[in-house]
Structure 1
């Protein structure tokens, strides 16, 4: 069952110079699916995710396309309707959740307020639900202690768990996890990812995971979108993408993984970097960095071809051929 369907979504920057920062992207999300969005900094990952609930900064706007959530186009609903959806059917775990908390309010009270906004529960019921979600995120033996802490008293891992608790408080259908492990050490990262997986199974929640860490995408997601300079350049099942990348950018990312070179070999690094707004690239945005670039690539924009039946998408006229297994 598809619960989110994004079609030809474009986002423009309007403050200084009109430019497209997300360029006609299309993707869908099924119930209980974990979808990864990966790419270098500046590829449009977070902007795409924030646009889904119109949480864009003032200098950005959706200029084209549709975002259907359970058959309702979120581009056409009122702010009041969006407020009902945010934190209820659709929630977000931020990269640094502590910074998004009220520093003057105990964290348990803040979770309770999220519940109060969207559920018709009395005080005791809200308290019980708060303790339940605190238990779900790993505070089963000390939820009362955590309930009475202020944000500044939390460690990074505890703060991320509180962020997840707030996200699941109203049993949402979709959770956006925006780089949820970036500021954490390796052990805590693994704990948080396992926690998200456990939460996803218990609540049958769909997750959109934004990350630049390919290992996390590989081990945590069902399907993936590879983004480059505001465009989706490849999409499909995570297993297929890692086994048989078809876009040269995807292969460049995968080649840089430590597991893909032997000890003593130099690290494989793609030449160049993400374009900037002053670069005048007529054709494919990746053409200045592509090892298989042609004159056609340099001169013509490349369409994104989506094969929904086979769950594959590619933006390339000279893709890498399928490996023979």
Structure 2
């Protein structure tokens, strides 16, 4: 092993050990002050598990965002003009819709729980099974899905191009006018604006020890100590990796399997990808019940218990569940400015 790499690894081990020792042990016979322990926890969080405050997306073209916002509520994207993107991604419900599965054109029921559109630009892939690599690619999914908008670009584009005001608005922003690519780009630009910073946990990570209640701080420590943070990590506390649902137990053993339960297997066809899903972000999770790809957990405390059982291999005590729920509630941020603006 090269000397520089060995020294780097040694520094990480020593640094993490020092953080634990000072934060939990004694220094010259005195317990480290709460301020020191807090500062060291912050250092450990940012340095090792890459947790950091969520920030707004800068540098977006405001005209493109405005067009995307208009299209996000435009029912002409659906076959019969009955639904829009916002029908299943409601801003007041954390960017989801509060249903186990959404309903599309003609009352068709979807096959999987609708994920939140908030902060989705930070997901490493889109959809539960990761089949879209970008927000632009994701836009075409619901539009063509027969259980959602049940439409196609061949149907949608002439409708939009017949709108003179919309046509002029697009021409002023996109030289190509209204095309599949420019519509997808505009919608994706709006979605990139849908970040929700300012949660109590963001303020805590920024150094405000009082931003979390004592119960939420206890829940945060349990969240780390139990191992939840091994998958729910990064700025989104999720959204940056795949994981099997049922690491420590067979979640699907007592049910009839549905195609959506196969997860990433539906994309890759690989046996090892059965029941593998993108780890969802926990941002605004208190607003987005029901939970999991199947919408089977009606409330947050139920979801925490299920995760403990099947992902951690432990039955969580009710007081532990309550503390973790308090922490997760601290992940609720502010509505994006692009939603609040007239």
TM-score bracket relative to the smaller structure? under 0.3
Structure number with larger C-alpha Rg: 2
Greater helix percent: which structure?
A: 2
What TM-score does the superposition give when structure 2 sets the normalisation length? 0.23
Higher strand share: 1
TM-score (norm 1): 0.24
